Amino acid sequence: MEKRKIPVFYHIPKNAGTYVSDWFLIAFRYYRRTYTDWLKNQTSKNDTIKSIQIVENEFIIARVLVGDSEYFCEKFSHFIEKRSGTEWDIEFKNVTLDFIKNLFIFGIIIESHGFKKRYSVLNLFKNYDLHEFLILRDSFSRAKSIYNYNKSEESKHDYSHGLVQATTLEEYILSNQLEDSWLIRNLTEIEDSVALGEGSFNKAVNALTNVKVYDIKYTDKAIQEAFLNCYNFDSQQIKLNSWDKVTKNETFDKKIKFEELPKNTQLVFLERTYWDNKLYNTLLNI
């Protein structure tokens, strides 16, 4: 029997994750109204689409968009919190194959806290053909985004708000808080105290063998290809409704170009992010 294809998105912080997540929900709503009759059974109290948020150690490690036309979730006793009519939290240990069999799995988002648990999470979905993809951006653009986000009011809800101690971008680059490669460390589980090298780089590349990688400027193409491959519809042809939310996180701070930084700061940045830049260039064939 041929396995049903489902999209799996790996959410790297500050790499268009909210935008992709919004499109997952928009595409699922389109799928529901176009290919199912679930809306006939929907009530004002209960929704037939749910985002099951898998939690471990109080962090959301994955989100699973599911169709629940028979309201199985309302009868299931192991949810730890119902954040809304559609967002329900469950401990990872309580997500079983039997639980999954009662739901229509539309797509999966591996959150940043779930990268190191990705194999355990995805093993629950071994009966599906996984279309795995992620979005990358160059190291400097991402560093700027992390700095600006952390220092802005937009991050007040985030546990990391205010953790960046630097008061300028240059100061942040020269500090020990600048990441060398978030992706390599989270793919390979190398501790922060251990220096990155050729071995960790190669291990990260190998970990992404079956994952489609896109530059952030091709995010819409990544979304389009995921839903064409899995559900045979073109997300770019979906007419948005008034309730469809598409979030593009933009900062309106001064746009600093890498070349405008002092030469010493440029050298420090390039040395610190050497393996991250190499990974970006290798995966995107630059």
Interval 140-165: pLDDT, tens: 999 999 999 888 767 666 666 667 88
CA distance 266 to 14: 21
Spatial contact of 273 and 141, defined as CB atoms under 8 Å apart:
no
- Residue holding tokens 């949810």? 79
The answer to whether the CB of 234 falls within 8 A of the CB of 227 is: yes
Contact between 136 and 15 under an 8 Å Cβ cutoff? The reply is yes
3-state SS, one letter per residue, for 203-219 = HHHHHCCCEEEEEHHHH
Q: pLDDT tens-digit profile of 12-67? A: 999 999 999 999 999 999 999 999 999 987 777 789 999 999 999 999 999 999 99
Instruction: Choose among 17, 67, 19: nearest CA to 47.
Output: 67
Going from N- to C-terminal start, the domains of the chain cover 4-283
| pLDDT tens track for 82-126 | 887 789 999 999 999 999 999 999 999 999 999 999 999 999 999
Task: Write out the H or E segment, with its range, that includes residue 136.
Answer: strand 128-136
Q: Are 146 and 13 in contact (CB under 8 A)?
A: yes
What fold is seen in the domain 4-283?
A: Rossmann fold (3.40.50)
In this prediction, residue 244 carries a pLDDT of 85
Give the closest residue to 91 by CA, choosing from 61, 125, 65, 126: 61
Asked if 84 and 123 count as a contact pair (C-beta separation under 8 A), the reply is: no
Residues 179-199 have a mean pLDDT of 95
Whether the predicted pLDDT of 250 surpasses 90: no
In the structure encoding, which two tokens stand for residue 89, read together?
């939290």
pTM as predicted: 0.93
Provide the token pair at 139.
């190291």
Dist. CA 206–CA 58, nearest whole Å: 30
- Average pLDDT of the segment spanning 206-220: 97
